[in-house]
Amino acid sequence: MQKYRLLGCLLLAGLVNTASASDVYRINAGDVLQVFVWNEEALNRDVLVGPAGTFRFPMVGEVRAGGSSASEVEQAIIDGLSNYLKDEPVVTVSLLSIDGNKIYVLGQVAHPGEFTVNRRIDVLQALALAGGLTAFAAENDIKILRRNSDGALDVIPLHYAKLKKGKELESDVFLRSGDVVIVP
């Protein structure tokens, strides 16, 4: 019995540790953050991340949030406030709104457009959000357009016809904020 408890604990620990760094939400322009500085009520506020991926914070100045995790933004604020506060500040950054987490589905789908998503989704889920493919869609020519960190455009092909038959399911791509799915 003890052996099975230990095995169960090890399996559970393995499941808990399967989250990778890619699973951490990255802040986008348009997101709203709540910044709480313990014992400094005048500094507590909600901030909108601007189009450049930054926001201004008292005593810190411009804070880069776009592409960062909430804990990375916390550390940036701590670093900036440490120059002015006697004790090391305790900062908590929470996401209030993820309005910047948008994907786009264009072309031969029932409802093309911009979609704000509140979780990680793949292309098949995005196509479902857009109402599915029309009868005129070129199933094997679907493309995902993604800007990489240096601004260059990456084009990722997707063969929907295979996916809908239950084949090559691993080829379904998880989307990132700003991705554009084009269904010709």
Q: Would the pLDDT of 102 be above 90?
A: yes
**82 close to 70: Cβ distance less than 8 angstroms:** no
Q: Bridge-partner residues for 66, per DSSP? A: none
Q: Which amino acid is at 47?
A: V
What mean pLDDT is reported for the chain?
A: 88
**109 close to 132: Cβ distance less than 8 angstroms:** yes
144 — pLDDT class (breaks 50, 70, 90): very high
**Alpha-carbon span 183 to 64, nearest angstrom:** 34
Q: Bigger pLDDT: 119 or 22?
A: 119
**Alpha-carbon span 48 to 87, nearest angstrom:** 27
The whole-model pTM stands at 0.76
DSSP state of 134: -
For the record, the structure tokens of 5 come out as: 């408890």
Q: Bigger pLDDT: 9 or 52?
A: 52
**Alpha-carbon span 67 to 53, nearest angstrom:** 8
Domains, the chain, in order of start with CATH, read 24-97 (3.30.1950.10), 102-183 (3.10.560.10)
Please compute the mean of the pLDDT values over residues 102-106 and round it to a whole number: 97
Q: Lowest mean pLDDT: which of 98-102, 107-111, 143-147?
A: 98-102
List pLDDT tens digits, range 43-77.
999 999 999 999 999 999 999 999 999 999 999 99
**Alpha-carbon span 25 to 42, nearest angstrom:** 28
List pLDDT tens digits, range 81-101.
999 998 999 999 999 999 999
Q: Quote the pLDDT of residue 22.
A: 61
